[in-house]
Amino acid sequence: MRYMHSNSNKYTLGDRYKTQAEKYEYISKQHGGYYRHNFTDHAYLYNLYFPPTEIFNHLKDNIRDLVLNYPMAQDALAELIGKIIQQATERIVVGNGAAEIIKILSGHLAKKIIVPVPSFNEYANAAPKGHVVEFPLEFPSFQLDVDKFAAEAIKVKADMAVVVTPNNPTSLLVPKADLIRLAQKLEKHDCMLIIDESFLDFAENKAQISLEQDIDKYPKLAILKSMSKAYGICGLRIGYLLTANPEFAAAVRDKVHIWNINGFAEEFIRVLPLYKKEFETSCERVKSDRDAFYKKLSAIDGMTVFKPDANYIFCRLPDAALSGPEVTKRLFIDHNIYIKDSVGKTLPDADRYIRIASRTEAENNKLIEALMDVMYLKNKQDG
């Protein structure tokens, strides 16, 4: 399992923490490497059912060549991605995870970027001070009003606008018709629209709601995709940007260094088309687990649970329950389960919200039992 790591292979962690409470304080400051610390990770957003064993075996069988040789550069990588998504090579820029491309978009290309909030923090964090405008989502529904968003983008003279769909942390989809209307409005004002579809593989009818196959209709549109989430390969770090705007593609590509993708990631992209059926099956399993999880979370008295379109669920805790940070801490200390609170997000009453990644049915059920156990705890001694 992703959260397990055998004792024989653990790095020495004895000087990091002595108690479960100290372990929580340590983990809460980390941004990965969770598998080394033996807890159940309901915080990061994985597809637990992909890649299949055959892909791991293939990488293992070719490990010598992958380690000893230079990987391919951008054009050849873009060609491989193009075969997967059926797009022309020149429209694609491949990144070391979507995070590399976000840094280029927010940190280097955008003069003023507008982002609906709450959302994935990296878009705002990567922008220079004073270059980002946060647009609050409709409260309490957290639905994006694209007409108001377009009006605000035009008002502040943004040259780049970002929409994450399904959104993180809310797990809510923005309808395709709304995105098309937004793209058309912004195009008239020379504002590039970035649509982040990183979690779209877990939504229903993804082929109908993605804008990838319509990309040539909208010259001021780019789609960003993190492959880590849907394909379960967070450690390989692969993402891509797709646009029919050659000048914009060239500007992004110019900021990517020559060997930004390692050989293991390259080989994964190369063999991925052989496992299309397995991938689709894995996404269906994720959705099935998530839907059952959503129903059980919704049955908790006083809990507001937003119907998810991705592989995680956004919840508002009951008013009488502990706060999000307190529940998150108690879950970890008492049950060795880690979730995300929303204190770092821009939204009203941020400390009342939590985001829970869906895992297997058994793990999801265990989390619900643990959540019920800790939500109303008061003044229990940390261990």
pLDDT in tens, 108-126: 999 999 999 999 999 999 9
Q: What are phi and psi of 245, to 5 degrees?
A: -95, 100
Domain with CATH 3.40.640.10 in the chain: 70-261
Name the band, by pLDDT with cuts 50, 70 and 90, for residue 378.
low
Q: Alpha-carbon torsion 50, 52, 53, 54, what sign?
A: negative
Tell me how far apart the alpha carbons of residues 251 and 247 are, in angstroms, rounded to a whole number. 6
Tell me, what's the pLDDT at 2?
Answer: 45
Task: State the average pLDDT for the chain.
Answer: 94
**Averaged pLDDT for residues 4-8:** 41
Give 252-310 pLDDT, tens digit per residue.
999 999 999 999 999 999 999 999 999 999 999 999 999 999 999 999 999 999 999 99
pLDDT, residue 339, reads 98
Round the CA-based radius of gyration of the chain to a whole number and report it. 21
Cβ-contact 264, 235 below 8 angstroms:
no
- The answer regarding whether domain 70-261 maps to CATH 3.40.640.10 reads yes
| Predicted pLDDT of residue 6 | 40
Residue 171's identity, in one-letter code, is S
Task: Report whether pLDDT(11) > 70.
Answer: no
Q: State residue 207's pLDDT score.
A: 84
pLDDT of residue 383: 46
Share of the chain above pLDDT 70, in %: 95
Where in the chain is CATH 3.90.1150.10?
Answer: 7-51+277-374
Per-residue pLDDT tens for 126-167? Answer: 999 999 999 999 999 999 999 999 999 999 999 999 999 999
More confident of the two residues 2 and 360:
360
CATH hierarchy code of domain 7-51+277-374? 3.90.1150.10
Confidence check: pLDDT of 12 > 50: no
Is 186's pLDDT higher than 60?
yes
What pLDDT shows up at residue 16?
Answer: 86
pLDDT at 379 (0 to 100): 47
Q: Distances in Å between the alpha carbon of 326 and those of 133, 169, 296?
A: 30, 19, 22
pLDDT tens for residues 35-81? 999 999 999 999 999 999 999 999 999 999 999 999 999 999 999 99
